[in-house]
């Protein structure tokens, strides 16, 4: 019985060691320019102060297969190298449709977030950096848009 247990453990280790793993590149084959972004705060009287980001970005598929359903999985908003917000803007093509790219194709993507409540420790007079994570078919591409000036909508 002892030999059977040892044999079973050795087989389990052998199968675990031979199991498939993803050691390859998990990055989307997209070339994304740093784009243009705006950050703004709604400070209109009678409403809750909320923070928004919006912008446009050029995306080119340099791979040899179609990239479908490109979405923003998260957008980290940094100020003074600290994460202030983790938001998920909506991403569409210039016609308002879901974004996809054929091989070699270049499109403009437009993104906008829903407003999030303004945090007390957030300095509305200092710019922010946006680290945007694009996702399609469990593959990711990240892009930094630095120095986004915050405007106030009165």
Measure the CA–CA gap between 140 and 74, rounded to whole angstroms: 11
Structure tokens at 108: 């403009």
Measure the CA–CA gap between 147 and 126, rounded to whole angstroms: 9
Q: Tell me, what's the pLDDT at 12? A: 40
pTM for the predicted model, two decimal places: 0.80
Tens-digit pLDDT string for the chain (154 aa):
444 334 344 444 333 444 333 344 688 999 998 789 999 999 888 888 999 999 999 999 999 999 999 999 999 999 999 999 999 999 999 999 999 999 999 999 999 999 999 988 899 999 999 999 999 999 999 999 999 999 998 7
Contact 93, 70 (CB under 8 A): no
Q: Tell me, what's the pLDDT at 58? A: 95
Please give the backbone phi and psi of residue 70, each rounded to the nearest 5 degrees, phi first: -75, 125
Q: Tell me, what's the pLDDT at 116? A: 95
Report the 10 Å Cβ neighbour count for 21: 6
Structure tokens at 120: 């007390």
């Amino acid at each position: 019985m002892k030999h059977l247990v040892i044999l079973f453990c050795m087989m389990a280790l052998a199968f675990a060691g031979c199991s498939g793993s993803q050691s390859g590149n998990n990055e989307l084959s997209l070339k994304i320019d740093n784009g243009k972004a705006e950050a703004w705060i709604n400070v209109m009287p009678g409403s809750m102060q909320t923070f928004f980001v919006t912008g446009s970005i050029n995306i080119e598929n340099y791979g040899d297969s179609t990239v479908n359903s490109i979405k923003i999985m998260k957008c980290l908003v940094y100020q003074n190298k600290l994460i202030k917000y983790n938001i998920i803007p909506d991403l569409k093509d210039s016609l308002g449709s879901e974004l996809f790219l054929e091989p070699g194709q270049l499109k403009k993507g437009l993104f906008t977030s829903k407003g999030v409540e303004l945090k007390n420790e957030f300095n509305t007079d200092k710019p922010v950096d946006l680290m945007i994570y694009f996702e399609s078919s469990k593959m990711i591409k990240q892009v930094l848009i630095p120095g986004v000036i915050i405007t106030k909508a009165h």
